[in-house]
């Protein structure tokens, strides 16, 4: 199965608007130079409008770092899929471990956000991953299964094809510790198997599964050589134009 690779940068709570526009322009140039893969960046909400404007007709895709579950309403501090789509945003990260761990988002809330993204016409980038404690207690697969089952509740077959999945072991995010390519491949294969059981094989074969957790220029090529790794969700290394460029140009 030929899945189109996706290299995604998550800028978290970094960059002024001017800095974000400059970095997005660099990513757009790299994306135009690599037409066989997709490239996405997720700026902070404050920079989305200007970044969408700046990348215009280039192939670079712009994502939000989170999304509300309703179209509008009394939800102080939230931004809806409708508002994001209005800017030209096409995807939304949902269930990032920082939302789960720091802001207390649970599987039910993440499921609502994911459905909110789909209903609002955005492609969710749905993140799952175990903590170090869970891995050491041999609970990796049961934790992932629960996150998948609850996070994907109510997602129909046809919608599933629009979804991007990201495996992000919490112990590897921002720590400099990358999962080995074997550890990552093992989990990606498990997640694909889960999708085959919960949906059907051709859907499981079509869904892109990204790896995230200390991806850098030095490890991207070996990660991307794994059969079930279809791309990367990159935090720290996506904040530097040169290193993100190298990751986009993985071989």
The residues that are catalytic are 96, 168
The three-state (H, E, C) secondary structure of the chain, written as one string = CCCCCEEEEECCCCCCHHHHHHHHHHHHHHHHHCCCCEEEEECCHHHHHHHHHHHCCCCCEEEECCCCCCCCCCCCCCCCHHHHHHHCCCEEEECCHHHHHCCCCCHHHHHHHHHHHHHCCCEEEEEECCCHHHHHCCCHHHHHHHHHHHHCCCCCHHHHCCCEEEECCHHHCCCCCCCCHHHHHHHHHHHHHHHHHHCCHHHHHHCEEEEECCCCCCCHHHHHCCCCCCEEEECHHHHCHHHHHHHHCCC
Residue 65 CB, shortest distance to ligand PEP, in Å, is 9
Of 18-37, binders to ligand PEP (CB under 6 A) are none
Of 176-235, binders to ligand PEP (CB under 6 A) are 212-215, 233-235
Q: Which is nearer to ligand PEP, 63 or 148 (CB)?
A: 63
Residue 221 CB, shortest distance to ligand PEP, in Å, is 16
Of 162-181, binders to ligand PEP (CB under 6 A) are 168, 173-174
Q: Is 5 in the site for ligand PEP (CB under 6 A)?
A: no
Of 107-146, binders to ligand PEP (CB under 6 A) are none
Residue 152 CB, shortest distance to ligand PEP, in Å, is 19
Residue 174 CB, shortest distance to ligand PEP, in Å, is 4
State the residue number with the nearest CB to ligand PEP: 235
Q: Which is nearer to ligand PEP, 120 or 235 (CB)?
A: 235
Q: What tokens appear for 158 in the block?
A: 């046809």
Q: Which is nearer to ligand PEP, 37 or 99 (CB)?
A: 99
Q: Which is nearer to ligand PEP, 62 or 173 (CB)?
A: 173
Residues that bind ligand PEP (CB under 6 A): 10, 168, 173-174, 212-215, 233-237
């Amino acid at each position: 199965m030929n899945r189109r690779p996706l290299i995604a940068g998550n800028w978290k709570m970094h960059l002024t608007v001017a800095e974000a526009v400059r970095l997005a322009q660099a990513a757009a140039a790299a994306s135009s130079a690599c037409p066989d893969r997709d490239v996405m960046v997720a700026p902070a909400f404050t920079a989305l409008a200007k970044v969408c404007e700046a990348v215009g007709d280039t192939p670079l895709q712009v994502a939000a770092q989170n999304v509300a579950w309703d179209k509008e309403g009394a939800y102080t501090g939230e931004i809806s899929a409708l508002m994001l789509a209005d800017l030209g945003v096409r995807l939304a990260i949902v269930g990032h471990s920082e939302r789960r761990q720091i802001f207390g988002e649970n599987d039910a809330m993440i499921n609502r956000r994911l459905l909110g993204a789909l209903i609002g016409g955005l492609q969710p980038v749905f993140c799952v991953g175990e903590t170090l404690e869970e891995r050491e207690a041999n609970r990796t697969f049961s934790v992932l299964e629960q996150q998948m089952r609850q996070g994907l509740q109510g997602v129909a077959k046809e919608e599933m094809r629009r979804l991007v999945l990201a495996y992000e072991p919490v112990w590897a995010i921002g720590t400099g510790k990358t999962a080995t390519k074997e550890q990552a491949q093992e989990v990606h294969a498990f997640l694909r198997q889960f999708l085959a059981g919960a949906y059907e094989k051709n859907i499981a074969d079509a869904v892109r599964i990204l790896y995230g957790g200390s991806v850098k220029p030095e490890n991207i090529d070996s990660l991307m050589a794994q059969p079930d790794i279809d791309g990367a969700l990159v935090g720290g290394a996506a904040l530097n134009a040169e290193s993100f460029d190298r990751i986009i140009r993985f071989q």
